[in-house]
Amino acid sequence: MVSAPKKVAISRKKRQRISPLLVVIPAAALILALTYALPPFRNYQLATVGAYLCVTAGLTVLTGLNGQLSLGHGALMATGAYTLALMQNRFNLLVAGIVVAVLVTTVVGAVIGLAAARLRGPYLAGLTLAVAVVVPSIASTFDETFNSDQGLTVALEPPPDAITVEQWQAWVCWGAALVTVLLLAYLIRGRFGRDLRAVRDDETAAKLAGIGVARTQVLAFVVSAACAGLAGALFAVLAQSVSPGAFPLTLSLFLLMAIVIGGLGRLVGALIGAVLLVALPSFAQSIAESSGSVRLEGNLALTFFGVVLVVVMLAAPGGLTSLTNLRIRRKSQKGRK
Amino acid sequence: MRRTATVLAVVLLAAGCSSNGTSNSGSSSDTPGVTDTEITVGTHMPLTGPAAAGYSKIAPATKAYFDFVNANGGVNGRKITYKIMDDGYNPSNTQQVVRQMVLQDKVFAILNGLGTPTHTGVLDFLKTNRVPDLFVASGSRSWNQPDKYPGTFGFNPDYTVEGKILGTYVKETYPGKKVCFLGQDDDFGRDSLEGIEKILGSVTAKQSYVTSNPNVGPQIGALKAAACDVVMLATVPGFTALSIGTAAKIGFKPQFVVSNVGSDPTTLTKTLGPAAGLLEGVVAANYLPLANDDANPWIQLYKKVNSDYNGNAEFDNNIVYGMSVGYLFVQSLQAAGKDLTRDSLIAAVEKGGFTGPGLVPVRFSAKDHSGYAGEQLTKLTGGKAAYFGTAYQTDDGDGAVAAYTGTAVAPPQNGIPTAQ
Amino acid sequence: MDRFLYLTFDGLSRGAIYAAFALALVLIWRAARIVNFAQGAMAVAAAYAGYSVTNATGSYWLGFITAVAGGLLLGAAVERVVMRFVDHSSPLNGVVVALGLVLIIQGVLGMIYGNEFRPAQAPFSRDAFQIGGVALLSRYDLFVFAAVGTVVALLTLLFTRTPTGLRMRAAAFAPDVSRLLGVPVGGMLTLGWALAAAVGSLAGMLVVPTELGLHPNAMDLLFISAFTAAVLGGLDSPVGAVVGGLVVGLLLAYVSGYLGATVAPMAVLILLVVVLLGRPDGLFSKAKARTA
């Protein structure tokens, strides 16, 4: 079972005073302003961060707050992405496509969640891993619909001439991301959030307190699946194409790394994770590029990425968000010993 | 939540600092990626991950050829800078790196981007941004859609063309024999089989494999059970070796006829190691000079470039391929003339008429954006491939498979094409 | 019937390798309560070491010994240098560090050896004996069975018959009590990692000649199959790992043979769902006390 450091639960109380709206609205204004200031490629990266934020936020609720470990969120994203592609190519109504993508992924998530609620720790990881690697298999078996490895292209209406495609993509992705974060923030502040944590910390105690353990776990899975479906749909919009190769097992693993490195169970951790998912690989590549050798280049980037993961995990076991709370952490550790 | 806001602000402002907005219009002096002294071109290919084997040598070879051209004065006084980006054969990475090259690094064109699933994803983006998308490294038919993607051109003969040529060979050489097929479970295998069956009709048995399961025992077992005399493989090199090795393991000895994609003898010999003797007599096809043909003037040129500019990398068909791509690109630049724009480059490629290392011509025209029009058969003996028979040309429809009778072209004296 | 026999033996010889690798995962799980996602990469690193020695000396067996010994050392080093300093209050920390190690190992191997497939020698012929016209087993397959069988037997002896094995089990299940009783818990942990990595390297050496060759990513797929096998059998049970490995090997062979390779991952998923819904802790889990 996954249990985040207790500190999270304690320090969270203080911050609950601020309404999430007070954060999200200025954030929206800031992003809007940024999309005008940034060049197209930065806008595209910004949009990608938004899309990642949808899934990392959902995943951190599932894994951080509810203690369920999923290696299958890449597959859930693929579900959303393929649904959007099929909807777009038939009806070409983006909003409807996104809504249907979220709904379909929610249903798939509910099915997996029902099985997941019976499983713990590595067994859940094993099952969701099998889900993650089944994507190419499904795409090839039903290739009439999914077109095998080559995948589908996504028909999209070009945005009005006044804005660039990348700017428009940033608006769509961040609009969705901020709504997701807002809803999740309200959700985890309330009773549902308390239930999630109670089930994570001690299932028996939660049961005695009258919390439906299985129900809470399935709901957590459904919520995070919906977020993953949304993110998948956004990725389809960003790439204007979907294919199984874009949703490999490594994607699921990277999502997990992102939320842990960011700070498990915290929405701000999910944000940091989403930023890292975009920034770290391109940063690593630009460092490696100076090596001058193609053979070194890609591998140097991989190594750098790995070193960052290990070093951050050793230096800040609570993730990057925990770094600012070092004093509290030290005290609480002393107390524990 | 307050911290969320702070982090958000810091991150986004940091991102904003690196902004540098420029606009691009049509006139020649401010064509992206082109200055009076430099042309910047980009490519995407797997340098890491399981798909990197073999492929990771292509782009460095192309770059080496460009360095050779640059050292001899470049093209119209411009030196070519080749930006190689690793996408690990993951389509979503391809999205990132291609956008980075086009939007941020302002490359003039994308050259030889590798892979069907990876490159399919960026077709629309490249079209929207009017970026020439030349000589895609894959035999998919998707690159030949001039109406839909006017800037995209193929390079490899497409898999159906190849299937028809290999099918013709089998039909003539092994009449009445049981012919079977093992292919990769994607467009490669599908299109190959389509070409083969256009010629041979339905094959006796067909099996497919997925790259995520490196055990072809069950499939080869089924082909053995079907008593196949000829097995046609639409496989990547690793799986060619695996299939031939597995067949030997169970005492199954059909004639193997292998797609060009999976037939590089250097790679196969290395992969099979001590069992390389099994490759004896394997039939494949190619359309470029063979790496082990030392008498060929192209190979002599490429070997010289390889030793001078490519750190003397192990010389194989991947290097021949990469340098041939470079040669064709330099030809295109020469044809586009001194006043280089994206439109003039595409017009020059569509005008076609390039002659070079290929055994058959490239087919470029306004109506046809597919690459090489055909192939010639090769046979492996003593670990070396050699051409036999004549080269064939055909299309991916129902056109006939016809012998190509044109003569081979020698490379120019200094190894650098001039405007034709 | 011939076909069924052929597929059965094909599946068993693959399954034996999955079993060995799953066993390595089980060893670490029992010792440290962590699923070692770096197991595959560590085995690749050891196999490369073996490959270099074989190339330099021309002896397969020297390379084989180097790989297994290298795995032993690498496992101990990973535990001593990295894993020991990971905050295990959240088990995910260990997982993320392991994933980081995977990237580092693959990156470094790629830098040293390049991302090309390197052919790996097999010590015995891989040509199968024909029995009644059906190709069943090769000498190499027999070697695989023998090697895996030996490992299982040695591990069983270690854990059931030796004081060290007893200490290792005690250190894993009740570290605090064991420490009070004078068991060097830290040392046992290192030993557990070293043993597991050695077994993983052995599995790696066995699988490489049967696949595409040596490559920094060569064990990614093996890891997936073996992890599935370990989960299927129950991560606490060495017997479960062996049975799980054989079952997964057989299932993949039958499904690929009769239905096509494409559907095989779906079959694995369905099997996992069916088994885990019935027995959420794997086939060979011990009955647990009710918690509520």
Of A211-215, B285-289, C102-106, C126-130, give the lowest mean pLDDT range. Answer: C126-130
CATH of B159-286, one of 3.40.50.2300, 3.60.15.10, 3.40.50.10130, 3.40.50.300: 3.40.50.2300
Contacts of B4 in chain A (CB under 8 A): 23, 27, 181, 267-268, 271
Contacts of B187 in chain A (CB under 8 A): 148-150
Residue-wise pLDDT for C46-78, tens only, equals 999 999 999 999 899 999 999 999 999 999 999
Query: Domain extents for chain B?
Result: 29-157+294-372, 159-286
Rounded Cα distance between A267 and A186, Å, is 11
Mutate to test the interface with A, among C25, C262, C290 (most CBs of A within 10 A): C262
**C150, pLDDT greater than 90:** yes
What's the mean pLDDT in A308-316? Answer: 88
Structural contact between residues A122 and C32, judged by C-beta atoms closer than 8 angstroms:
no
What's the mean pLDDT in C235-257? Answer: 92
Please give the mean pLDDT across all residues of chain B. Answer: 87
**Higher-scoring residue by pLDDT: A290, A193:** A193
Residue-wise pLDDT for A80-92, tens only, equals 999 999 999 999 9
Rounded Cα distance between A261 and C7, Å, is 45
Q: What percent of chain C has pLDDT over 70?
A: 97
Same fold, B29-157+294-372 and B159-286: yes
CA-CA distances (angstroms) from residue A298 to A302, B50, C81? Answer: 6, 13, 26
**A7, pLDDT greater than 80:** no
Residue of A nearest to B83 (CA): A289
B4/A275 touch (CB, cutoff 8 Å), yes or no: no
Which residues are CB-neighbours of C17 under 8 A, at least 6 positions away? C144, C148, C203, C206, C207, C210, C222, C245, C249
Among residues C213, C283, C226, the alpha carbon closest in space to that of C16 is found at C226
What's the mean pLDDT in C23-41? Answer: 91
Which pLDDT score is estimated for A10?
A: 45
Residue type for position C209: P
Which pLDDT score is estimated for B29?
A: 61
A256/C35 touch (CB, cutoff 8 Å), yes or no: no
β-bridge partners, A152: A242
Please state the three-class secondary structure of C14-58 as a single string: HHHHHHHHHHHHHHHHHHHCCCCCCHHHHHHHHHHHHHHHHHHHC
Q: What percent of chain B has pLDDT over 90?
A: 55
Rounded Cα distance between B34 and B78, Å, is 8
CB burial readout A228-252, b (16+ within 10 A) else e? bbbbbbbbbbbbbbbbbbbbbbbbb
Domain B29-157+294-372 in CATH 3.40.50.2300? yes
C262/B274 touch (CB, cutoff 8 Å), yes or no: no
DSSP codes of every residue in B298-351: HHHHHHHHHHHHSTTPPP-HHHHHHHHHHHHHHHHHHHH-SS--HHHHHHHHHH
Query: Domain extents for chain C?
Result: 13-220
DSSP codes of every residue in A98-118: HHHHHHHHHHHHHHHHHHHTT
Structural contact between residues A173 and A47, judged by C-beta atoms closer than 8 angstroms:
yes
Give the number of other Cβ atoms within 10 Å of residue A26's Cβ. Answer: 13
Residue C56, class by beta-carbon neighbours within 10 Å (0-12 exposed, 13-18 middle, 19+ buried)?
exposed
Spell out which chain B residues touch chain C, with contact meaning CB-CB distance below 8 angstroms: 47-50, 52-54, 56, 185, 207-210, 212-219, 221-222, 224-225, 238-239, 241-242, 245, 248-252, 267, 270-275
Residue-wise pLDDT for B124-167, tens only, equals 999 989 999 999 999 998 899 999 999 999 999 999 999 999 99
Which residues are CB-neighbours of B378 under 8 A, at least 6 positions away? B263, B283, B284, B285, B286, B290, B385, B386, B387, B388
B207: three-class secondary structure by DSSP = strand
Contacts of B93 in chain A (CB under 8 A): 281
Structural contact between residues C239 and C73, judged by C-beta atoms closer than 8 angstroms:
no
Separation of CA A138 from chain center? 23
Rounded Cα distance between B239 and C237, Å, is 35
C266/A69 touch (CB, cutoff 8 Å), yes or no: no
Maximum mean pLDDT: which of A76-85, B81-90, B197-206 = A76-85
Among residues B113, B114, B115, B55, the alpha carbon closest in space to that of A295 is found at B55
**B251, pLDDT greater than 90:** no
A150/B187 touch (CB, cutoff 8 Å), yes or no: yes
A-to-B residue pairs, Cβ atoms closer than 8 angstroms: 165
Contacts of B218 in chain C (CB under 8 A): 7, 10, 253, 256-257, 261
DSSP codes of every residue in B380-403: EETTEEEEEEEEEE--SSS---EE
Which pLDDT score is estimated for A331?
A: 46
Biggest distance spanned by C-alpha atoms of chain A: 63
The two tokens of residue A223 are 């919520």
A285/B85 touch (CB, cutoff 8 Å), yes or no: yes
Give the number of other Cβ atoms within 10 Å of residue A202's Cβ. Answer: 15
Structural contact between residues B352 and B364, judged by C-beta atoms closer than 8 angstroms:
yes
Residue-wise pLDDT for B281-306, tens only, equals 999 999 999 999 999 999 999 999 99
| ipTM of the prediction | 0.89
CA-CA distances (angstroms) from residue B48 to A297, B184, C103, C153? Answer: 9, 21, 11, 39
B128/A165 touch (CB, cutoff 8 Å), yes or no: yes
